[in-house]
Amino acid sequence: MSRNRLTEALLALLMLLPSLVLFGVFVFYPLGRTFYLGLHQNDFFGGNQVYVGFKQYTDVATSEEFRHSLWVTVQFVLLTVPLGLVLGVGLAVLANKAIRGIGVFRTVFSTTVATSVAVASLMWLVLFNPSIGVLTRILPFQVFKSPGVLNDPTWALPAVSLATVWANLGFTFIVVTAGLQSIPEELYESAELDGAGGWRRFTNVTLPMLSPTLLFVTVVLTIGAFQAYGQIDFLTEGGPGDSTRVLVYSIYGKSSPIGGNPGVQAATAILLFGVLFVLSLVQFTVLERRTHYVA
């Protein structure tokens, strides 16, 4: 390596050093430490570590608790990600029209991005309340009045999913709006000259040009759904029964059967990391083929 190339490499490493240190302290070390804990069994108080190797990972992966929580998490993802994506794209397309006063609606649609999980969950907790909730008074469905959607095993997960979609809508709207504004206007003009109507312009111009943004939003929403905890803790605490006990809540939740067992909790967390890693690879591999980038 020439002297100039060596100097450039050392300078690049020096500039990357702060980021590498931060990643090492806050990402790589915790990940390695969690993997190490997953190789050990602990007593109820977290002491008396005994090395058991990968047997603990196998036991956790084949346990009924893990399979149930994973299935609940998958249902939660399927309820939140597609609906949130469709609503975000729909609102962004409407708000991207050159209409007088549309800026007010853009502000309204994006406000949830500044709402914390705690505030959003508390708001929906009041809305779903069977005694004082607004939805209870407006909607005629009996389940809202007794026992309440958050107390019904069938409707608790959809109710939490609805609150999650609302909380994430601002993020989706802002990112998709930015993607829409980057599409060249000449493409719409050419499509219109060719006789394409509104729906054909949307399917043949907007969606293909928006595909990189949609890929990014889909991956982020999926990861966020798999990591959901706050809204579950506020609204249902994993109940009624175990109907809303997602994977992250099964690790950290107050009513979790593996609470107080760091080894099992660590093994569950690493398995969740593996599921997310594989799912993200699949999403990038499959969706990347349908993604169009503007040169």
Q: Is residue 225 part of a domain?
A: yes
Dihedral of the CA atoms 50, 54, 56, 57 (nearest 10)?
A: 150
Q: What is the pLDDT of residue 261?
A: 81
CATH number of the domain that 262 lies in?
1.10.3720.10
What pLDDT does residue 257 have? 74
> C-alpha dihedral over 108, 111, 113, 114, to 10 degrees?
170
- Output the pLDDT for position 1: 56
Which residue, among 67, 41, 39, 42, has the nearest Cα to 54 in the 3D structure? 39
Please report whether residue 11 resides in a domain.
no
> What residues in the chain have per-residue pLDDT under 50?
none
Is 44 domain-assigned? no
How many structural domains is the chain composed of?
Answer: 1
**Euclidean distance between CA atoms 128 and 84, whole angstroms:** 20
Measured between alpha carbons, how far is residue 161 from residues 74, 117, 241, 261 in Å? Answer: 12, 13, 17, 29
Query: In this structure, what token pair is assigned to residue 139?
Result: 């909607």
Q: Please report whether residue 262 resides in a domain.
A: yes
Q: Is residue 151 part of a domain?
A: yes
How many residues are there in the chain? 295
Q: Is residue 231 part of a domain?
A: yes
Residue 199 pLDDT: 86
Q: Tell me the per-residue pLDDT of 122-155, one tens digit each, with 9 for 90 and over.
A: 999 988 888 887 887 787 778 778 788 999 999 9
Domain with 86 in it: 63-288
Residues in CB range of 58: below 8 A, 6 or more apart: none
205 in a domain, yes or no? yes
Per-residue confidence (pLDDT) for residue 268, from 0 to 100: 92
Residues 195-212: tens digit of each pLDDT: 888 888 888 888 888 988
What is the chain's mean pLDDT, rounded?
Answer: 87
Query: Quick check: is 24 in a domain?
Result: no
pLDDT at 120: 92
**Minimal CA–CA distance to 206: which of 184, 223, 230?**
184
DSSP 14-52: HHHHHHHHHHIIIIIHHHHHHHHHHTEE--TTS-S-EE-
Best CA proximity match to 216, nearest among 107, 106, 81, 108: 81
Residue 101: its pLDDT value, please?
Answer: 74
